[in-house]
Structure formats: structure tokens, C-alpha cells
Structure 1
Amino acid sequence: MAKDSRHSAHPVCRAVAKSHKKVATTVDARLWSMSDDEVAEALVEATRLRARVEALELRLAAEADRRAVGDKVGATDTASWWGHETRQDRPAAKRRMRLAESLDRHAPTAAALAEGAISTDHARVITECVDRLPDDLPDPTILERAEKHLLHEAVDLDPRSLAILAKHVLTVVAPEIGEERDARALEREEQEARANAWLTMAPDGKGSYRGKFSIPTMQGAMLKKMLLAFAAPKHQASKPADKDQHEAVERRPSPERMGDAFCELIERLPAHKLPQLGGLNASIIVLLDFTGLKSDVGRAVLETGEPISASLARRMACEAGLIPAVLGSRSELLDLGRTARLFNGAQRLGLVVTQRVCTAVGCDWPAHLCHTHHDDSWLNGGKTDMKNARLLCPKHHARIHDPRFEPTIHPDNQVTFHMRT
């Protein structure tokens, strides 16, 4: 409490606090008697007031950084000190400090923020755009014109729309050079976005996969359009699960509905049009015995060893082509003998089902990424059949052919390697 009292004792802060208290008291006293128009007007004015307070805060932050106030307590930098003193998230404090430093160089934008004409999000878009412009512009007034144009547009645009417009601001304020430079900058941005695209996902142990990704704008827009096609109210209403679903359809897809649409999109992807993985179509193999297929209980197992319910397996079986994995059956040709050197798709499926992972002891490399190896070399007369086949990851497949190592096949069909003496 003492710290808060000390901070609010500063004349600048005391004046702001007094003004805020007066406004808050007035609103509290009149809130229930205010008309709809008065509430709306007060809300807009309060938002502008917040921008003015944030402008003051950022001016103080820039001045504090100039004076290196964090040095007195041994802070790494002023932003770190600021985040600690005000209990801000450190990355957020650093972002705000960068904006404060940038506003210090962009007086028109700082003035617009201080007047409440724009928000801090608008200010960040404008300053970042102007700071990104090339240093070798032929006319030094181009930077000033670009900032002025973006400030003018910010009055009517939200920050996201303003950021889109900012990508080609040079084309607007300096068309003689801007069109070519904006086009090159856009191509460079797209190339960097594709090169830096990433995705992570992993099972959470609770029946779900969790992940996140970053992909370029084009592919992101494509994915969003696909998901909206499944999540749109018209699609939902066309296949209601019960008679009350028509009333339950949301006009705007919720995150949960978009997640459901993502699942539906994945289920509908045609596997035969996808690249092959490990010599097979990128299809998931589900192991389920005949009893489980017919009953309402039991479970099935994915090729990765992860369990799913038998009911889900049956539902998927209604919508997808089935590849029978009945061991010992003659429904598929599992023995080519000497007619071919490479194992075919049916044999690969059989190995995925029976071996699951690399057969080297201690290796958990998944089956779909493994190579198929002849225990008895095909060149020495070994047959291309299941009894002579094993799955090995690339590392262990290279090792089994390395004359420096002696492989030993154990009764459980696993293999170990020892350095030859």
C-alpha cells in the first residue's frame, strides 16, 4: 500500500487520479439514469481517455529510459525495471518500451495518441511501418508523408485494416518508386514466411492432440476458408444431429466449432491424393478384431499404439475405405517370393501391424518412417516375404549394412548390434 501511495503522490499522477476519480464518481452517480445514447457516448469518450493516459505513460517510459532509471537498482534495462515495479508481463513491458522509444521519434503519431484520436495499437502499426521503410529513399519527405497518410487513414480504420494498408504505403505516397519497392518487400515477406513456417503437435495423454503453428498468409487464408465451409451455419443446419440443432446453430463459428470443422476437414482429405509415407498412402491403420467391430464395447488400437474406442472405429469405417489387416489371411498377397526385390504395399501394411516400430532394441522410431530390410539378403537368394522382413529406422538400417557391426537377431525378433573385434 505504501508503494502505491508513494507513486500516486507525484503531481502528474495525482492530477490524473483526481480526474479519473471525478469522472468515475459522476458515472457511478448517473449510470442508471443515463440513456442508451449517453452510455454509448461515454464509452467512446472513456476509450479516448484511455489512449490519452497511455500516451502519457509512454512519454514517461521514454523519459525514464533516457535517464536509465533501472540502472540505480541494477536492472538489466528500463523495460525490465518497469515490468517488475508495475507487475507487468516482461515481454509486454518490452513491447511497450519499444513503442515508447518509437513514438519519441514520431511526433505526429505521439500527438494523435495524446489527443485520443488513435489507440496504442494504431500507433504501433504506424511507427513500425515508417521505421521499416528503406533508408535510401530519394526524397527525405517520403517518411513524413507516409506517417501523415497512415494517421489520416487510422481515423476510419481498425489497426488490422491499417496494417494491411501499411504494406503498400509507398505506392500511395510515392508511386514513382513505391510500387516496385512494395512489390519486392511483399515478395520478401512471403518468402520469409514460407521459410519460417512451423508446426508443433503432440498427444496430451487425455485423448487429444495439442499444437500450434505459423504459416504464410496465403495458406492461412486457404485453411480458414476451408474450415469456415464446414463451420458455417448453412453447413451445420444441413446435417443436424437432432431436431433441435437448427435452433442451436451459431451465426458466427465459435472456436469449438472451428475445432470440430478442423477434425471434419482432416477426415475428408482424400488419402490417395496425398504423398506416400514409407511406401504407403498417408492413411491411419486401425486394428480392431471382428468382435469389437460388431459390439458396442471394446477398443481399437492405432498403428502408433494409441487406443481409440470401438464406436469411433466403427464410425470411421462407415466413411472410409477399409484395408483388412487379418494376419494369416489370403485376402492380400503377403509373399512375392523371388518375383520382386522391393516389398509391396500389402507387405508394408503387414509389417506396420506386426512390428509397429524399428526392431532394433531400444529404438522407438515409428513404423511408417522405417525402411524395410531383408534379413537374408535378396542378392544372396533371400525371399521378399514377411518371414524375411523387418523394419529398421534409417540409422539402424545403415548400421545393419555396416561391416563394422555384427547384428544379432533375438527370439522376440528384435536385433542388437555389437562392434566386430
Structure 2
Amino acid sequence: MAKDSRRSTHVVSRAVAKSHTRLDRAHESHLWSMSNDDVAATLIEAARLRARVEALELRLAAEADRRHAGERVGATDTASWWAVETRQTRPAAKHRMRLAESLDRHDLTAAVLAEGDVSVEHARVITECLDRLPADLDDPTIPLRAEQHLLAEAQHRDPKSLRVLAKHVLTVVAPEIGEARDARALEAEERLARETAWLTMSPDGRGSVVGKFKIPELYGAMLKKTLLAFAAPKHQTAENGAETYERRPASERMGDAFCELLERLPTASVPKLGGLNATVVVTMDIASLMGGLAPGVLGDGSTISAATARRLACEAGLVPAVLGTRSELLDLGRTTRLFTGAQRRALNLTQPTCTAEGCDWPAHLCHAHHDQPWSAGGATDLTNARNLCPRHHARIHDPAYETTHLPGGKVAFHRRT
């Protein structure tokens, strides 16, 4: 393609050919000889140059489409031919072709892009906004005013923040009609987002469940804010201990946070399913609940470790169905195993912090634990209750640790050897 452009006499073709020659020399040059100021300034100018080159490429794409370049060689359309010739994906080429067609209709944005004063991403946001403007506007100057306003804002905004502004551009440039139209458009967008929300989940066969979802922005923001609170280093250090907390990729920390959120959901406020609160039932024998290793079985046949079952059996959301030595049902967990709000308040007065030795985690953030397990006949009363922070609550159910009751009501943990 470069050779063809060198043979052409058209000014555009010659400009592209000369650019190749000059860039060849630039790529062969050593950057170490540039000053710090030159490197910084040239980097910024290279970004402007990229925008200008892309503007020219999009102009050529629109012209090639007008001339049916793809059809002349048997391609489905020009975008498909362009994708093959330049090794783009077809979706990417079609996406860029739509932008090229839109820029063809919006001369001002095309001109500013050609000067390198905005990026292709800025131009895409602006043209998509202009293409969405209502066709029945009484004032024919509104689209131009909207374009001018967005181009001005693009000088000091990134494309993401410009997109947020573009959604309400009518309110800015034509407040007499824009506020009502934007309100209706926002209501329709929210309604559609709620109606089209979806979620899928499927087991991967290796102990995990893989899922995807699409939810309205409001609920996405709520979920993200909640998960960030659980994933925060301060919270993770308090939960797991400073000696075990380590920084991990954000996606993994958010995954852990999602699991913790689900563990803490108050089942009493969840809608009933089949007449019962939406709780998960785990079936296990009495020996495992008392400290054995045999796993618990969930209602769908999947299994969880005995240690995890023992820990969750102290909290809402999971009910232990305990089987005796002959697999007869000994007890089915009831919500009465949980301490009441009044009991928790009384317990917090007598145990203002976690009762693990050396831990000062405040009582209002602790879990109420049965010293004698409720499943083994332990009563849900204050004489059988102790406050444990989430970290030590997990540890008291961990078979790797032995629990020692100390004088004064504290407990200590020692790793089993």
C-alpha cells in the first residue's frame, strides 16, 4: 500500500508516502540523545499526530465506502474489506466505519479532530451524542451549539467524563426544553436498564461458580461501593490479621469481598422461598459438626469442608441438618439458634471487646458464638455466649487450632502439631 501511494500524484497519497519516509528515519534514530523536555513535548505532539492521522484515515474510509471499495472486490461491504486488508477484527472495523460516516455529517468535529485537538475517543462521544439528538427540535441552531459546547469541554475532559456530560447536553445549551427531555430520557433509560437486567451462573466443575450479569448503573454503583468496603486493606487486615493479609490483584480482592457480602446477608429480610427464608441447608453427620473432617453436603449435591460448615453454622444464611450415626435426622437448624438483639446488647455490656486473648476488636463488630455448640445442645443464652471478632470466630472453628479457655473468660488459640 505504501508503494502504491508513492506512485500516486495526489497530494494525500504523496503526504502519506512522505510520512512513511520521515517516520522511517525517526524510528532509526536513538532517543537517548533527546533532552528531557524534548521527550515530554514530543510525546504529547505524537498523540496529536496520531489523532490527525486517524482523522485522515477515517475520511479515507468514508470515501472508500462511498465508492463501494469492498463490493468492487467481492467483499460483503467496505468495512469487511478494510478489516481483512488491515488485519482488524470485523467488529472493530465496522465500529470505526460508523464513526467515519458520522464525522462525514459533523464537519466541525471532523475539523477539530483533523487538527489533533481532540482524540478519536472524544470525537466518537461527540458524534454519538449529536446523532441521538431529537429530530423535532424547533431551534435549528441547537445541534451546532451542542457540538460547540462538547468540543470546548473536550479540551479539558477525558472521553469518559465527556460522555457523562453529553447525556445532558440539551439541559446546558437549551434549558428551556432540555431539562424536561433529559428527565424523560433518563427515566426511560433507567426503566430499560431494569427491564433488561440479567444474571447467569454455572459451576465450573472445580469448586467455583462462574457468572456474568448486567444491572442498572445505580445498582452497579451500590454493589461496587459495598464490595470496596469489604475489600479495603484496613478491613482485610482486621479480618485476617496483619500477618496474613497480602495485597492481591483487585479482581481477586473483589471476589473475596463478594463472598463475604453473601455470608453477611441478613436472611430474615430476604423474601421467602417455598415458605422459608432463603437459607442454604448443609447436611453433615454429628461427628463432623463436633470436629470431624467429613464434608457437608449442600442441597444441590455439592460439598463444603467441615471447617467451613462449622463456622457458618454459627451465623445466619446456612442451616445445619445434623445426622446421627445411623443417618437419622437429629436436628434441623432453627432461627432460634441465633442470639436476639436484646441478648447481643446485653452481651456487649459484659464483653465490650472480642474475648480472644490480646484482641481488642469492638463488640459491635463481633459475632456471638456459642461456647457449647447449639447443635450439641448448647443453649442460646448469655451464659453460653461469647463475643469473637470475625477472624477469631473463623479460627475457633478451624480444626488446625486448639482452643484453650482461660481464667477471666478469655480464650487462646494454639496451632495443633
* TM-score, structure 2 as length reference: 0.72
Deviation at 1:256, TM superposition (A): 1.6
Partner residue, 1:179 = 179
C-alpha spacing 1:318/1:324, structure 2 compared with 1 (3 Å):
closer
Q: For residue 74 of structure 2, what is the amino acid of its counterpart? A: G
Q: Distance in 2 between matches of 1:126 and 1:155?
A: 12
| Structure 1, gaps ≥5 residues long | 334-343, 346-421
The counterpart of 1:24, out of the listed 22, 27, 36, is 27
Mean Cα displacement is larger for which, 281-290 or 223-232? 281-290
Q: Distance in 2 between matches of 1:88 and 1:227?
A: 37
Partner residue, 2:410 = none
Q: Distance in 1 between matches of 2:283 and 2:189?
A: 45
Q: Distance in 2 between matches of 1:54 and 1:44?
A: 16
Q: Distance in 2 between matches of 1:330 and 1:200?
A: 36
Q: For residue 25 of structure 2, what is the amino acid of its counterpart? A: K
Q: Distance in 1 between matches of 2:332 and 2:214?
A: 42
Q: For residue 21 of structure 2, what is the amino acid of its counterpart? A: K
SS at match of 1:211: strand
Partner residue, 2:100 = 100
C-alpha spacing 1:117/1:134, structure 2 compared with 1 (3 Å):
same
C-alpha contact (below 8 Å) 1:126/1:166 kept by paired residues: yes
1:275-294 matches, within 5 Å, as 275-294=271-290
Deviation at 1:215, TM superposition (A): 1.1
Q: For residue 251 of structure 2, what is the amino acid of its counterpart? A: P
- CA offsets, 1:89-145, max 9 Å, x none? 111111111001001111111111111111111111100001100001111110001
Partner residue, 2:151 = 151
Give the RMSD, CA atoms, in angstroms. 2.7
C-alpha spacing 1:25/1:274, structure 2 compared with 1 (3 Å):
same
Q: Distance in 2 between matches of 1:294 and 1:83?
A: 64
| Structure 2, gaps ≥5 residues long | 8-12, 336-417
C-alpha spacing 1:244/1:275, structure 2 compared with 1 (3 Å):
closer
C-alpha spacing 1:40/1:220, structure 2 compared with 1 (3 Å):
same
Partner residue, 2:267 = 271
SS at match of 2:274: coil
SS at match of 2:27: helix
Q: For residue 13 of structure 1, what is the amino acid of its counterpart? A: V
Pairs aligned (count): 327
SS at match of 2:257: helix
1:165-176 matches, within 5 Å, as 165-176=165-176
Deviation at 1:296, TM superposition (A): 6.2
- CA offsets, 1:308-356, max 9 Å, x none? 33333233334446634246446469xxxxxxxxxx99xxxxxxxxxxx
Partner residue, 1:131 = 131
SS at match of 1:201: strand
Q: Distance in 1 between matches of 2:284 and 2:146?
A: 64
C-alpha contact (below 8 Å) 1:197/1:215 kept by paired residues: yes
Deviation at 1:44, TM superposition (A): 2.1
Mean Cα displacement is larger for which, 165-174 or 72-81? 72-81
Deviation at 1:226, TM superposition (A): 0.8
Q: Distance in 2 between matches of 1:36 and 1:237?
A: 42
Partner residue, 1:13 = 16
| Identity, % of aligned positions | 61
Partner residue, 2:376 = none
Partner residue, 2:366 = none
C-alpha spacing 1:205/1:105, structure 2 compared with 1 (3 Å):
same
C-alpha contact (below 8 Å) 1:70/1:76 kept by paired residues: yes
Q: Distance in 1 between matches of 2:5 and 2:212?
A: 41
Q: For residue 170 of structure 1, what is the amino acid of its counterpart? A: L
Q: For residue 141 of structure 1, what is the amino acid of its counterpart? A: T
SS at match of 2:102: helix
Partner residue, 2:408 = none
1:209-248 matches, within 5 Å, as 209-243=209-243, 245=245, 248=246
Partner residue, 1:339 = none
C-alpha contact (below 8 Å) 2:99/2:124 kept by paired residues: yes
Q: Distance in 2 between matches of 1:37 and 1:133?
A: 43
